[in-house]
Amino acid sequence: MRVLLVEDEDRIASFVQKGLSAAGYTVERVTTGAEAAARASSREFDLAILDLGLPDMDGRDVLRGWRDRGLRVPVVILTARGEVHDLVEGLELGADDYLTKPFAFDELLARIRARLRPRAGAETATVRFRDIDLDLRTRRVTVGERSVELAPREFGLLEAFLRNPGHVLSREQLLSRVWGYDFDPRSNLVDVYVGYLRRKLGDGYIETVRGAGYRLRPEA
C-alpha cells in the first residue's frame, strides 16, 4: 500500500514515515501544497495524509482541488487545528477522517487501516499470541479462559506487543506508538504501564531485555 504524506514539519513527518514503514506501507512525503497537487494527480497512491497548515497554501485548498479533479483516494487530515468548524469543513470538502495533533501513532494507523479496509479486503478483527486474544472491534481481551479489563493505553501497549511477537520493542518505540510523538522519551510511562500489563496478564508473557526494551516471550 502506497501512502502520500503531505507534511512540512520534519519531526512529525519522520515520526509518521518510520511508523508506517514499519507497518508495511510505502510512504512518499511532500512538503508543499503545490507538490501535493502535482504528485497526487498521478493516482498512484492508496491513501493521502494531509496537513492543513502548509507553507504555500491551505491544505483545504489542496483537498478541494483533488476532489474537483475527481481524485477519490481516501484522505486523512492531520492538523493542529482542533476547532469543530475546521473538522466540519474538512469533512464537507471530502476528507475521510480527521486527526488532531498531538496524536498517538497507533490511532493514526487504526484510522488508515479503517479507510483502506474496503479496498484491501477484510482485515481480521482479532490479534492472537499464545493464549492471548485481543479483539480490535470490541476491545475485549482474554488470556486463556480469563477475561481481562484493560485501560485504553494498556490496550494499545498490548496491541503493539502482539503485532510484534518475539521482537524487542524499545521504550522509545512503545512511547511513540502508544502515546504519540510529543512525549518526552525520558518519561517512565512505558515502564509503569508495562508493570500494569504484567499484573493483568500474569507472569511469563512480557520480559525485559536489559538495555534494549521489552518483548513478548514466545512461550512460557
Query: What is the residue-level pLDDT of the chain in tens, covering all 220 positions?
Result: 889 999 999 999 999 998 898 888 889 999 999 999 887 665 678 899 999 889 999 988 999 888 888 788 889 998 887 666 767 777 888 888 888 888 888 889 888 988 887 544 444 578 889 999 998 777 889 999 999 998 888 888 998 898 888 889 888 888 877 876 656 667 788 899 999 999 999 989 999 999 899 999 887 5
What's the length of the chain?
220
Amino acid in the structure at residue 7: E
Structure confidence at residue 120 (pLDDT): 43
Among 101, 97, 86, smallest CA distance to 16 is for: 101
- Give the SS3 label for residue 209: strand
The one-character DSSP state at 91 is H
The model's pTM: 0.61
**Which H/E stretch holds residue 61?**
helix 59-68
Beta carbons of 123 and 113 less than 8 angstroms apart: yes
**CA separation for the pair 7, 32 (Å, rounded):** 7
Structure confidence at residue 200 (pLDDT): 95
Q: Domains for the chain: give ranges and CATH numbers.
A: 2-120 (3.40.50.2300), 126-216 (1.10.10.10)
Structure confidence at residue 13 (pLDDT): 92
**Distance linking the first and last C-alpha atoms of the chain:** 36
Handedness of CA 141, 146, 147, 152 (dihedral sign): negative
Among 149, 153, 130, smallest CA distance to 141 is for: 149
Structure confidence at residue 149 (pLDDT): 92
DSSP strands (E only) in 115-212: 126-129, 132-135, 141-143, 146-148, 206-209
Q: Under 8 Å CB-to-CB from 216, ≥6 apart: which residues? A: 129, 130, 161, 162, 164, 165, 166, 205, 206, 207
Among 79, 105, 107, 89, smallest CA distance to 9 is for: 79
